[in-house]
Amino acid sequence: MIKAMKQFAHRPPLYDRTDAKFWDDPHISQGMLKAHLNPHLESATRKLDFVRKSAHWISNKVPPAQHNRLLDLGCGPGIYAEMFLNNGYQVTGVDLSQNSIQYAKKNAREKGLDILYLNSDYIQSPLSGKYDLITMIYCDFGVLSSSERQLLLTKVYDILTPGGYFIFDVFTPFEYVGREEIKKWSYEDSGFWSAHPYLLLESLYCYDECNTFLNQYIVATDSLTTCYNLWEHTFTIGELEKVLFQAGFRNLRYFGDVAGAELRNDSKTLCVIAEK
């Protein structure tokens, strides 16, 4: 185990990936789904009251009567997708997690909801169709590398109809103000990371020169040591304007969150409405 952990005992290069499949791990994906569905937990999905407020605000900003076809990137188990459908949109949801998509499809069948759910990696796989509104909610844009962000913006722009909108949110550098690099370990008989007894080494690495942060989790069981690198890039308005204008977007509008809060100088999140 020590030999296996030693390979991760260094500061990783920026956006270094490991082979571990966080979203598709059978055990972890069950824990993620449970977190998504907890209406009181600010975890995989924001609290349900905020989600309702957010879906209502988006529907007012980009009314479904004029912008009907909606694509929700990173839809998870379909919490936003169902609200968007009820607000009048024609909804397609895409997510990498097979477990979440299976749940979303089953739930839609049982409720008689006409939502198309796709289990796909929207970075590695093509995005097809035409949409009037594309959403990407809960700061998923920041987990991508710079090249992946550029690729995604190109894909989103290509499948938006003229005058369509891309709405997404990101963390700002204020999300990590005062947080220092750490390494800590803990032991669990079973838990989020494994159904078996495991040792967890959790690290935070700060790449302050580029406003990027790594939450690294090394999980060691009796038989296996696995490393998960979860990256988070934080954004300023200037950086977002640069990449969005390069991709062809225009008429950018900014808010403090994806429910329309006022953007302040110290806001921890930033929501963008970008027009094609």
- Each residue's pLDDT tens digit, 158-169: 999 999 999 999
pLDDT, tens only, 148-207: 999 999 999 999 999 999 999 999 999 999 999 999 999 999 999 999 999 999 999 999
pLDDT value of position 1? 65
Dist. CA 150–CA 138, nearest whole Å: 19
What three-state secondary structure class fits 114? coil
pLDDT, tens only, 54-80: 999 999 999 999 999 999 999 999 999
Nearest to 105 by CA among 89, 93, 122: 93
Q: Is 262 in contact with 256 (CB distance < 8 Å)?
A: yes
- CB burial of residue 204 (10 Å; 0-12, 13-18, 19+): middle
Nearest to 80 by CA among 94, 60, 97: 94
Say which CATH class 38-173+236-275 falls into. alpha beta
Dist. CA 175–CA 183, nearest whole Å: 19
pLDDT, tens only, 9-25: 789 999 999 888 888 88
The whole-number average pLDDT for the span 33-49 is 88
CA–chain centroid gap for 160, Å, is 20
Task: List residues bridging with 212 in a β-sheet.
Answer: 207, 233
Please state, rounded to an integer, the average pLDDT across all residues of the chain: 94
pLDDT value of position 4? 66
- Can you read off the two tokens belonging to residue 223? 């038989």
pLDDT value of position 183? 93
Consecutive H or E run containing 55? helix 48-61
**Where are the chain's structural domains?**
2-24+180-232, 38-173+236-275
Consecutive H or E run containing 53? helix 48-61
Confidence check: pLDDT of 26 > 90: no
pLDDT value of position 65? 96
Helix boundaries (H) for 62-210: 79-86, 98-111, 146-159
Strands 160-171 and 131-136: parallel
- Can you read off the two tokens belonging to residue 86? 């009820």
pLDDT, tens only, 238-261: 999 999 999 999 999 999 999 999
Dist. CA 80–CA 137, nearest whole Å: 9
